[in-house]
Amino acid sequence: MLDIKFIRDNADKVKKAIADKKIGLDLDELLDLDAKRRDLITELESLQALKNQISKEFPKLSAGEKKTKLLEIEEVDGKTGSLKLRLESVLEDYENLMCKVPTIPAADTPPGNDERGNVEVSKWGKIREFDFPLKDHITLGKDLDILDLDRGAKVGGYRGYYIKNDGVLLMMGFLFHALKKMSAKGFSPMIPPTLVKQFALFGSGYFKGRDYSPDTDEIYMVGSPDIDETGKASKEKKFLVGTAEPSILAYYAGEVLESAQLPMRNSGFSQCYRSEIGSYGKDTKGIYRVHEFMKIEQVILAPANIEAADALQQEMLSISKELHEELGLPYRVLRICAGDLGAGKYKQFDMEAWIPSRNAYGETGSSSNFLDWQSRRLNVKYKTQTGEKKYVYMLNNTALPSPRIFIAILENYQQKDGSVVVPEILRPYVGKDVIK
C-alpha cells in the first residue's frame, strides 16, 4: 500500500506502474474518491467544531436560548449521521482501490509483458552431460523407494506425495543445512505459525484485494471454525500460509522498532500450502508443483533507504547462491521484468536450478524488495535517531524449498546403475555416500 499523498503527487508514475504491472485499477477513480473522502471529513470536522462551540456556550445561556441551541445540536447530529453514512460508503470503495495500488518498480527494471521478458543476470555451474538414458525424479524416486506418488494421491489427493526412507534424510538434511547457514549468517531462526489470521496475509500482499477470494488467491482457508479462549466458536477466518514470510512479518505488526535494531534478519522454517489455482494443467506429474512442501525463508526488516535495501537483497541472494553451489547444483539468476512483477514489489530476482529431465532451469527461489508497501499494511515503523517515525522496508528471499531442490539433486546426481550420489555436504545427514 502506498501513501495517498505520494500517489497524488506522483499520479503519472503510479499510472505507468499500473499499466506495466497490468493491474486492474483506474487511478482517476481512486483520486476522485480521495477528494470526496477529504471533503466529507472536512464537513464532519466543521460540524463537530460547531457542536463543541455550542456545548461550550451552553451553561451561560438562558432557558430560551438553551432550547434554541438544543434544536441546533439536533440538526447538527442529523447532518453528522448522514455524512458519516456517506463517508462509510466512500471509504469502502476507497480502501478497496487503495490496496490495489502497486509499488513503482526500480528505474532499472527490465521492460516486458510477462516471464518472457525476464533477464538472466548470472549463471553458475557446468551442466552435466549424461552417457546413459536419463531418468526423471519420478522414476528415480520410485526405483529407490524414496518417493511414492500413487499412495500420495490416494491419501492426499491431486498433487499428494510421500517422501520416504533415505529421501527423508536427504530432504531434511539440506533444509537443516540451510537453516544452520542462515543462523551462521546472522539470521535469527524461527518456526512461525502456519495457521494465521487474515491480516497477516493481507498485510504481506498475498490477497489480490482487500479480502480473501478463492477465485484469485492461491491460499487455503480453513473451513472449520476455531475455538477461542472462552470455548466459543470464533468468527475470525484462519488461513494456511504459502511461506513463512507472512507469519514473520506479522510478528512485528503494530510495533515501533528502534533504528539500532535494523536491519533485522530472520529465517523461518515452515510447512507451506498453496492451492495452485492459477496453475491448472501445469506440471501435473511428479513433485515440481505441489500443494504442500517445506521451505527455509529469509526475511529482513530494513531502514527506509533504497541503497541499503538493495545491498541487503544482494546479501540474501548471495546466501541462496552459496547454498546451490555447496549442493553442486548449476543455477542461474533472473531479474524479473515489470510485467511479471507483483503489485507490491519494487525489485525481484529469481533463482533457478538446472533440472535435467526438463532440459531447463526450474525456479527454486525468489527474492523480493517491497520497500514500505507491506509495512504500511502491517503498520510496522521504526524510530530514527532524530525521533522521526518511518515505515520499515521489508524484503524476503527463499533460502531453499524442499521439492525442487530434491528433484534437482536426484536428477543431477543420478548414476548409470540407477543410484544417486549424495552431495558431499549432505552425507553427515543421510549417513551414506550413495542412495541405492
User: Helix (H, G, I), strand (E, B), or coil: what is residue 226?
Assistant: strand
CATH code: domain 115-435 is 3.30.930.10
Catalytic residue, candidates 204, 270, 366, 402: 366
Amino acid residing at 142: K
Q: pLDDT per residue over 9-33, tens digit each?
A: 999 999 999 999 999 999 999 999 9
CA separation for the pair 24, 2 (Å, rounded): 16
Residue 379: closest CA among 197, 261, 254, 251: 254
Helix (H) or strand (E) holding 129: none
Cβ-contact 32, 126 below 8 angstroms: no
Which of 336, 349, 345 is CA-nearest to residue 370? 345
**How many C-beta atoms lie closer than 10 Å to residue 398's C-beta?**
26
Same fold, 4-98 and 115-435: no
Catalytic hit among 289, 322, 332, 427: 289
Angle at CA of residue 283, ends 278 and 284, nearest 5°: 95
Pick the CATH number of 4-98 from 1.20.140.10, 3.30.70.270, 1.10.287.40, 2.140.10.10: 1.10.287.40
Instruction: Using a cut of 0.85, tell me whether the model's pTM lies above it.
Output: yes
CA 2 to chain CA mean position, Å: 16
363 catalytically annotated: yes
Going residue by residue through the chain, which has 436 residues, state the pLDDT in tens, using 9 for 90 and above: 899 999 999 999 999 999 999 999 999 999 999 999 999 999 999 999 988 888 888 888 888 887 887 888 888 889 999 999 999 999 999 999 999 999 999 999 999 999 999 999 999 999 999 999 999 999 999 999 999 999 999 999 999 999 999 999 999 999 999 999 999 999 999 999 999 999 999 999 999 999 999 989 999 999 887 787 888 888 889 999 999 999 999 999 999 999 999 999 999 999 999 998 767 777 789 999 999 999 999 999 999 999 999 999 999 999 999 999 999 999 999 999 999 999 999 999 999 999 999 999 999 999 999 999 999 999 999 999 999 999 999 999 999 999 999 999 999 999 999 999 999 999 999 999 999 9
> Which of 305, 295, 297 minimizes the C-alpha distance to 265?
297
Cell numbers for 240:
494456511
- Which residues touch 146 (CB under 8 Å, ≥6 apart)? 163, 164, 165, 166, 167, 168, 170, 435
SS3 120: strand
Contact in structure between 249 and 203 (CB atoms under 8 Å): yes
CB atoms within 10 A of CB 246: 32
Q: What is the pLDDT of residue 146?
A: 98
Catalytic residue among 265, 315, 404, 411: 404
Active site residue 404: yes
Domain boundaries defined on the chain: 4-98, 115-435
User: Burial level of 344, CB count in 10 A (0-12/13-18/19+)?
Assistant: buried
DSSP sequence for 338-405: GGGS-TT-SEEEEEEEEEGGGTEEEEEEEEEE-TTHHHHHHT-EEE-TTS-EEEPEEEEEEEEEHHHH
Would you call 377 a catalytic residue per the annotation? no
The span from the first CA to the last CA of the chain, in angstroms, equals 52
User: Which among 272, 269, 274, 228 has a CA at the least distance from the CA of 248?
Assistant: 269
Look-up of cell digits 542461474? 332
From the candidates 274, 335, 376, 377, which is the catalytic residue?
Answer: 274
Phi, psi of 176 (to 5 degrees): -70, -35
Residue 369's Cβ-count burial label (10 Å; 0-12, 13-18, 19+) is buried
User: Rounded to whole angstroms, how far apart are CA atoms 147 and 382?
Assistant: 47
116 is catalytic: no
- CA separation for the pair 170, 408 (Å, rounded): 12
Q: Is residue 289 annotated as a catalytic residue, yes or no?
A: yes
| Confidence at residue 223, expressed as pLDDT on a 0 to 100 scale | 87
Of the residues 259, 363, 419, 427, only one is catalytic, namely 363
